[in-house]
Amino acid sequence: MHDNLGVLIDHWKADPLSTYNTWFLWEERLKNFRSIRRGIGQVVKEIDAGTFGNAYRGSALETVVGSVAEQRQIFKGADHAFLWKPKLRIPDIYEHADNQRAFARLLHTCDCCDTAEAVVEAIRRIDTHQIKGLGPAVANLLYFIHPTLVMPFNTAIVKGYNAVTGGNVKLGRWDHYLSMRDGAIRLNTQHRQALSNDMGALAGLLFDVGSGRFAAPPREDDAQATRAWEADLQKVREESAAAHKQWLAERESDATHTEIQGWLRDLGKSLGFGVWIATNDRGRAYGGGQLADGCLARLPDGIHAGLDAVRLIDVVWVEADGSKVAAAFEVEHSTSIYSGIVRMLDLALGTEVGASSAMFLVAPDNRRDDVQLQLRRPAFSRVWELGIRYLPYSELKNHREAIARFGTGLKPVLEISHRL
């Protein structure tokens, strides 16, 4: 089976519509890890402080799980397991204080530990509580804490694992999840060079098998079945070529994101600011060069506590003397607005030089309601105090050249943006 599995992996990686290309290699995936981990930490803090409440809606858990569910197709529906089902009283972490605290201990332990043994022990400990309705779907949160140690979990991944390995893993049981994790690690080790140390790659492959996009490899000694299977792989390849236009549209979305960053870069320079470009975007092609051309190589010295998150803010304007951050911009073309807000909070609350910075969420005009909805979340109550503003694409497009020519300081940009 393993040679055939290698063939499948090669086809899967070459398919432009596979989760490997549309999610695993998606640059925003990595940017969201820290914001989701920070959200998990907020859940733990609220439970420890006794302020979590007894409802999913409006909780910090709803915020962070919603962000996970936005991680493209592999995590679509990740929030279903956490939605409160009142007739069944599940998952039983909203009205049962002891279960709620046990859930927090699981999240906190995994956030603090750095070994597979500690993660597995924390999972075994939560399993002893037998919390009704709280099962391996929690692994989708733990994955964003330890992507090399934890396997994502959903129905399609389980189906794909069973199909590829001949296993009989069942949903809803932690012991079955741990068995699947062990088997997945063995598979990943055997095909590490073609996959990744990050378990998300293998999870994506199993997801695509379990959701029916690819058929599981037949036994190696079944030549007829192998020929039929290879013909099916070729059919998928042809279908993918026809559907590639949709994927190109999403890539164009990424190009638009880069263009907006370029506008903000050039505008900041024209106004006399030093400009920082997000570390994972610096090498993007723009204007005949790279997006980070002529930009700062380092941030002001006062940024330390929230450095990792701040370095991923799309565009940062720094005072000419390098003393502090003047403004920060998160471009939210089509991705989760949640993550951008979290990075802004890290700048304002976790650094010495960001507390007085002007902060902008830059988004298409038709995303105003999305921005407003996110800013209303209870988890972002501090946002109102910080004055994060919404800057529509149209305002930036229509006024950036005039501002660059005649403007000074931040006042013109404040004028074309909105407090929500």
Write the pLDDT tens digit of every residue in 359-371. Answer: 899 988 888 888 8
Residue 322: φ, ψ to 5°: 75, 15
pLDDT on residue 300: 79
**What does R_g of the chain's alpha carbons equal in angstroms?**
23
- Nearest Cα neighbor of 25 from 285, 157, 201 is 201
Residue 244 tokens read as 């590639």
Distance (Å, whole) CA 203 – CA 206: 5
Write the pLDDT tens digit of every residue in 158-196. Answer: 999 999 988 888 998 999 999 999 999 999 999 989 999
- Arithmetic mean of pLDDT, 152-161: 94
Sign of torsion over alpha carbons 264, 269, 275, 280? positive
pLDDT on residue 242: 55
Q: Which residue has the tokens 């859940």?
A: 43
Cβ-proximal residues to 85 (8 Å cutoff; 6+ apart), any chain: 91, 133
Strand, helix or coil at 68? helix
pLDDT on residue 199: 97
Given a cut of 80, whether residue 348 has pLDDT beyond it is no
Given a cut of 60, whether residue 248 has pLDDT beyond it is no
Pairing of strands 315-318, 325-331: antiparallel
pLDDT on residue 72: 78
pLDDT on residue 1: 47
Kind plus residue range of the DSSP H or E element containing 277: strand 274-277
Distance (Å, whole) CA 287 – CA 261: 11
pLDDT on residue 311: 84
Write the pLDDT tens digit of every residue in 296-324. Answer: 988 877 665 456 677 889 999 999 888 88
Distance (Å, whole) CA 21 – CA 258: 19
Q: What is the mean pLDDT of the chain?
A: 85
Instruction: Using alpha carbons only, give the angle 176, 179, 181 rounded to the nearest 5 degrees.
Output: 110
| pTM flag (> 0.75) | no
Given a cut of 80, whether residue 108 has pLDDT beyond it is yes
Is the bond leading into 364 cis (omega within 30 degrees of zero)?
no
Long-range contacts of 335-338, Cβ-Cβ distance < 8 Å, separation of 24 or more: 335/28, 335/70, 336/28, 336/32, 336/67, 336/70, 337/361, 337/363, 337/367, 337/370, 337/371, 337/374, 338/35, 338/39, 338/63, 338/66, 338/67, 338/70, 338/374
Stretch among 5-19, 108-122, 332-346 having the lowest mean pLDDT: 332-346
Cβ-proximal residues to 120 (8 Å cutoff; 6+ apart), any chain: 178
Which amino acid is present at 220?
E
Distance (Å, whole) CA 39 – CA 379: 9
Residue 299 tokens read as 């941030």
- Arithmetic mean of pLDDT, 104-108: 96
Write the pLDDT tens digit of every residue in 46-60. Answer: 999 999 988 888 888
Do the Cβ atoms of 209 and 160 come closer than 8 Å? yes
More confident residue, 153 or 376: 153
Which amino acid is present at 15?
D
Distance (Å, whole) CA 241 – CA 224: 26
Kind plus residue range of the DSSP H or E element containing 67: helix 60-69
Distance (Å, whole) CA 418 – CA 420: 6
Write the pLDDT tens digit of every residue in 199-226. Answer: 999 999 999 999 998 988 886 655 665 5
Burial (Cβ within 10 Å: 0-12, 13-18, ≥19) of residue 31: buried
- Arithmetic mean of pLDDT, 93-113: 95
pLDDT on residue 224: 66
